[in-house]
Amino acid sequence: MAAAAVQQSENPQPTRDFSIRRARFADIPFLGPVERSAAELFRSANLDFLVDGSTVDPKLLAAMIDAQHLWVACDYMDYPIGFSGGENVEGSFHLVEISVAQDFQGKGVGRALMERMETDVRREGFKAMSLTTYRSLAWNGPWYSRLGFVEVNPVEMGRTYLGILENERQHGFDMSARCVMRKIL
């Protein structure tokens, strides 16, 4: 039974015109360009610094792969078009990044990544997922709300979350527009 679950989680799962699978180290060089492409949407909200800033550190991506906490959405050629990944923060599975390349946005790729990630982390034993996001941008807070996330007080989540928000502030994020969200699994 366990072997079947592992085999299923390591094989691509066909979903529409793309598949979702666990990331491989060979995927890492392709994820920065996916993240940059996805971030282009932030220009429409005058948040150019998110497009022009750094992407997720490849060392962090590698650590997520080691922990089996990084997933990729791939096209029919198995080329990454999106990814999601996270880590354990104070007992919750914390989404560090989800990005879908601009040409594939609005086609269910992000939702499929979130659903696969949720299924896998629930199976791993996590009882909640968390993230930080822009409260009002349509493709941020409202989108996560439709997936079952609710805004929570970061103080109630623990010191690590306050540190995450402080790091975001230091990187230029407008903290009055940011929030922490959680979904009980």
For residue 32, pLDDT over 80 is answered with yes
Cα R_g (the chain), whole angstroms: 16
CATH at residue 24: 3.40.630.30
Q: Give the structural domain span for 39.
A: 9-184
Its pTM surpasses 0.85? yes
How much is the pLDDT for 43? 81
Tens digits of per-residue pLDDT, 126-185? 999 999 999 988 889 999 999 999 999 999 998 999 999 999 999 888 889 999 999 999
Q: What is the DSSP letter of 140?
A: T
For residue 52, pLDDT over 90 is answered with no
Tell me how crowded residue 140 is: count the other CB atoms within 10 A of its CB.
Answer: 21
Mean pLDDT of 39-53: 81
Domain count, the chain: 1
How much is the pLDDT for 14? 47
